[in-house]
Amino acid sequence: MHGALAEAGATDLGPAEKPDLKLGFIKLTDMAPLAVAWEQGYFLDEGLFVELEAQANWKVLLDRVITGELDGAHMLAGQPLGATIGYGTQADIITAFSMDLNGNGITVSNDVWQQMEQHLPQQADGNPVHPVSAEALKPVVDSYRDRGERFPMGMVFPVSTHNYELRYWLAAGGLNPGYYDPENGDTSGTLQADVQLSVTPPPQMPATLEAGTIKGYCVGEPWNQQAVFKGIGVPVITDYEIWPNNPEKVFGVTEGWAEKYPNTHVRLLRALIRAAYWLDENDNANREAAVRMLARPNYVGADPQVIANSMTGTFEYEKGDVRSVPDFNVFFRYFATYPYPSDAIWYLTQMRRWGQIAEPKPDNWYIETAKKVYRADIYAEAAQSLIDNGTLSADDFPDLSAENFERPGQGELIDGVAFTPRQPNAYIDSFAIGLKGRDTAVAAE
């Protein structure tokens, strides 16, 4: 009974304790499950009266969830983890829903691209071979250093996927993106940096690039395609090329909220799971409708053509260099919505690699922290109720009675270093650039 309207809920699921909800989001394509759940009536099916509200930036969004001004929000996958371990703001935030896989890119200014292009092999059609390694950026960065200038790039938040993906790509190409040293009050992340990374809110990325304040950035859509559309920059790589089927955003609430309103939480998850299913249903048949929805000013508010560039299975690098990337945005395929502990562990290893986690932790700390924050038990309750009332099939989900520790179907990372989520310390120690063992940022310096 795929796609059928849900009943008021699974027979054993009680009514929502808090039916009136305000949920936050940032103006990005991957907020789509929230928009779809509202527009398709999935929230109403669950007895939920939801107001969706765009937030100014990721910090404001997180703070408002913590204070209770927002009931929950579209979050960076690293935000519930960063908050729980006390990096920046300390608060017990959990997620029981992964909003999407992939969806980001790294863009550089036109002048930087012209310099990079000289170092890249070309295809028969004259376009560069992809994926593009940061090794091609290294001579450009070196030329800035030789002139006594910093090479600045933007990312959206210190615990964002974008920060870790940009750092991963740079380090894989031999460039040090810098260390954090929170114990000594240095949260800039620029200790020993070859490339100076700083925070810029996603919708402001193109204008900041155009102004010359930054020379490149890592951001979600539609803000890479916007640079192409405006003729101000060139996306050089997608995160799908850095790590195929990497986790991206999550839906987060405080642990206290989840405990106080368990039925409301499960009903929210049911609506979001159905929305994610709709987005990927019948080989993305609904994506054009989703593009029109997201283009509205109350959601993403970008030109439909810009949003469609990535949402409909293609990605434009240089103007006219359009390539097929069918999995650039994944919302439901490959069990995308399941909150796998391995997703959380990868983020935690990158936090340690770059010094946000200042001291070494044993392997079991990573595993236990992941399971505390990424709540597969709550997800399983929502998914099982959708199976029980015939809305979705058991085949749409992993085995809900199993541990489901590691996300299946992920490709190799761009540097060829194998991700070993059950041995996080061995993984951290395997990188050429990054903190290892008992290193601290000061000791590494």
pLDDT tens-place string over residues 54-74: 999 999 999 999 999 999 999
Same domain (yes/no): 265, 385 = yes
What percentage of residues in the chain have a pLDDT greater than 70?
97
In a domain, 12, yes or no: no
Same domain (yes/no): 316, 368 = yes
Arithmetic mean of pLDDT over the chain = 94
Q: Give the tokens for residue 109.
A: 């200014």
- The model's confidence at residue 364, banded by pLDDT at 50, 70 and 90, is very high
pLDDT tens-place string over residues 198-247: 999 998 999 999 999 999 999 999 999 999 999 999 999 999 999 999 99
Q: Which domain holds residue 424?
A: 104-245+413-444
Residue 43 has pLDDT above 60, yes or no: yes
Output the pLDDT for position 437.
Answer: 84
- The model's confidence at residue 438, banded by pLDDT at 50, 70 and 90, is confident
Residue 312 has pLDDT above 70, yes or no: yes
Same domain (yes/no): 363, 419 = no
Same domain (yes/no): 306, 383 = yes
pLDDT tens-place string over residues 329-339: 999 999 999 99
Same domain (yes/no): 269, 389 = yes
Same domain (yes/no): 347, 391 = yes
Phi, psi (5° rounding) for residue 205?
-60, -50
In a domain, 270, yes or no: yes
The pTM assigned to this predicted structure is: 0.95
CA distance 96 to 294: 24
CATH number at residue 150: 3.40.190.10
In a domain, 14, yes or no: no
Task: Give the total number of structural domains in the chain.
Answer: 2
pLDDT tens-place string over residues 382-410: 999 999 999 999 999 999 999 999 999 89
Same domain (yes/no): 420, 349 = no
CA distance 160 to 158: 6
pLDDT tens-place string over residues 283-308: 999 999 999 999 999 999 999 999 99
In a domain, 260, yes or no: yes
Same domain (yes/no): 376, 265 = yes
Same domain (yes/no): 266, 236 = no
Same domain (yes/no): 154, 241 = yes
- The model's confidence at residue 443, banded by pLDDT at 50, 70 and 90, is low
Same domain (yes/no): 74, 123 = no
Same domain (yes/no): 223, 297 = no
In a domain, 401, yes or no: no
In a domain, 402, yes or no: no
Ramachandran assignment for 243, one of left (phi > 0), alpha (psi -120 to 50 degrees), beta (any other): beta
Output the pLDDT for position 442.
Answer: 66
In a domain, 3, yes or no: no
In a domain, 208, yes or no: yes
Across the beta sheet with 104-109, the strand order is 196-199, 152-155, 216-220, 104-109, 233-238
